[in-house]
């Protein structure tokens, strides 16, 4: 009898019940403006489990690792299969392998990802719903702890890399970039100092275009493609 620790997934190769199996899950973050609030907040999609264990509970999107695919490819595939999403940024988070994290032995390689609101397909996907990252219900398995760790990593990494750009369109104003930082860090940033810091970092290229529509027009910027999105050291070019 086969059990899964992720939703909507089935093993693709024959496995004995006693063997350790490898699953891949993804914590994928986006920003959304809550109704009634001016600020953005971090949200993520969860899927309902359709079988035991934890049937009916919410869980991270994921599935089994196929024999012929890399870990990152498995993360992308299972994310697309369960939620229809294709993230703009994807990075390995951690491998979870406690013996008792699932009734059967499962090692989960967890990825975390970013996606812009406009990249999310219209219309809801079956069994999928978006939740505020700070007020999650009890999730299946150790997925609450996994989300906590992913949030910690996101907040950490926004301080020393350009991952915030993974949540923005090609062109954006400094205010929009600042709102991304404010949502992730959950605190206000001084617009003047923020401008100087980010302008001095060399990661932004000013354009000739302006965002108009309210008050004084704001200059649009684009990414400097020469700068890495995130420092990953010797792994930056591989998977």
Footprint on this chain of a copy of itself (rule: CB under 8 A): 13-16, 18-22, 65, 67-71, 92, 94-95, 97-99, 105, 107, 109, 145, 148-149, 152-153, 156, 233-235, 238-239
Query: What residue 65 binds from DNA, a copy of itself, none (CB within 5 to 8 A, per partner kind)?
Result: a copy of itself
15-22: long-range contacts, CB 8 A cutoff, minimum separation 24 = 17/104, 18/105, 19/105, 20/105, 20/106, 20/107, 21/64, 21/104, 21/105, 21/106, 21/107, 22/64, 22/65, 22/106, 22/107, 22/108, 22/109
Q: How many CB atoms lie within 10 A of CB 116?
A: 16
Q: Residue 48 in 3-state DSSP?
A: strand
Q: Give the shortest CB-99-to-a copy of itself separation in angstroms.
A: 6
Between 119 and 171, CB nearer to DNA = 171
Q: Give the shortest CB-39-to-a copy of itself separation in angstroms.
A: 24
Between 88 and 173, CB nearer to DNA = 173
Query: What residue 216 binds from DNA, a copy of itself, none (CB within 5 to 8 A, per partner kind)?
Result: DNA
Q: Residue 164 in 3-state DSSP?
A: helix
Alpha-carbon distance 29 to 103, whole Å? 28
* Prior bond of 53 cis (ω within 30°): yes
Between 12 and 50, CB nearer to a copy of itself = 12
Place of tokens 């992913």: 150
Which of 2, 124, 197, 224 binds DNA (CB under 7 A)? It is 197
Q: Does 215 bind DNA (CB under 7 A)?
A: yes
Q: Give the shortest CB-118-to-DNA separation in angstroms.
A: 19
Which of 214, 225, 234, 238 binds DNA (CB under 7 A)? It is 214
């Amino acid at each position: 009898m086969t059990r899964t620790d992720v939703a909507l997934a089935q093993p693709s190769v024959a496995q004995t019940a006693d063997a350790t199996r490898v699953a891949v899950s993804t914590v994928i973050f986006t920003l959304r403006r809550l109704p009634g609030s001016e600020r953005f907040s971090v949200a993520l999609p969860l899927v309902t489990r359709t079988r035991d264990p934890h049937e009916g509970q919410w869980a991270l999107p994921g599935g089994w690792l196929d024999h012929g695919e890399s870990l990152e490819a498995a993360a992308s595939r299972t994310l697309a299969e369960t939620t229809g999403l294709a993230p703009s940024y994807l990075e390995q988070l951690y491998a979870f392998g406690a013996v008792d994290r699932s009734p059967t032995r499962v090692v989960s390689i967890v990825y975390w990802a970013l996606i812009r609101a406009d990249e999310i397909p219209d219309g809801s996907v079956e069994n999928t719903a978006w939740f505020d990252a700070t007020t999650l219900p009890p999730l299946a398995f150790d997925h609450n702890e996994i989300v906590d760790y992913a949030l910690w990593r996101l907040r950490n990494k926004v301080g020393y890399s350009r991952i915030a750009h993974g949540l923005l369109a090609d062109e954006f104003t400094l205010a929009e970039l600042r709102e991304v930082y404010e949502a992730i860090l959950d605190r206000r940033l001084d617009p003047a100092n923020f401008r100087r810091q980010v302008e001095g970092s060399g990661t932004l290229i000013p354009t000739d275009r302006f965002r108009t529509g309210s008050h004084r027009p704001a200059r649009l910027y684009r990414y400097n493609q020469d700068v890495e999105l995130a420092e990953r050291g010797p792994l930056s070019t591989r998977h």
